[in-house]
Amino acid sequence: MRNRWKITIEYDGQPFVGWQRQKNGITVQEAIENAIHAFSQESVTLYGAGRTDSGVHALGQSAHFDLSCTTSPDTVRDAINFHLRPLPISILNVEKTYANFHARVDAIARHYKYRILNRRSPPTIDIGRVWHIPHKLDIVEMADAATTLIGKHDFTSFRAAACQANSPVKTLMRLKIYKVKNEIHIEADARSFLHHQVRNMVGTLRLVGEGKWCRADVERILAARDRSAAGPTAPAEGLYLTSVDY
């Protein structure tokens, strides 16, 4: 009998070419699968709630896998973490779940945060973990423009060319912008997102913060349903998958 395990994962995306296993470099999925094999001697497939891109971080990624060996959640957590060293991946929580649970399909909401360091001086400790914009951004204008994106829309203007989603229509439940000392945080909640959707929205809102666009421009961009109408894609380094709801 095989047991299904749900795990919660934190990782720094800088050393990885993304979540999903691929041939051009080490991925988070591959690293964890290898760690599971190292302690259990079982080959497993790890299914994640979201396929984060190269350089994107996670504070609460979710995934599941099956094991035939009988053990405890604490043992699974500690054993995987032991074999992940020294990679910047940490298994925060492990729980046994029901047999047909699926980390991606069963998710009802995904929560992302984007961090902008908005000060003249560059980052030191947070290099690779924030988008540094040295000139001042107007957060009030950004927050106002962001409200036009909340709700159910065709987000083609914010969709990557390589996106594999069946439909560009998504429901953005929340898009909040606020300041924390020298940082601007942008939080986005939805059941699911298009490829690069959050980063493309951030890149557009940055231009609003610079005074180059306004709320009406964001409305126009959304209605255009044309990727070339929107702003550039924000760097991966500022993006975090913070949690997944079930």
Residue positions annotated with a catalytic role = 53
Q: In 10 A of CB 182, how many CB atoms?
A: 13
Please count the CA atoms within 13 angstroms of the CA of 188 that sit on its side-chain side.
28
Ramachandran category for residue 41: left, alpha or beta (phi over 0 → left; psi -120 to 50 → alpha): left
Distance, in Å, from the CA atom of 111 to the CA atom of 108, rounded to the nearest integer, reads 10
Distance, in Å, from the CA atom of 208 to the CA atom of 217, rounded to the nearest integer, reads 9
Distance, in Å, from the CA atom of 18 to the CA atom of 200, rounded to the nearest integer, reads 18
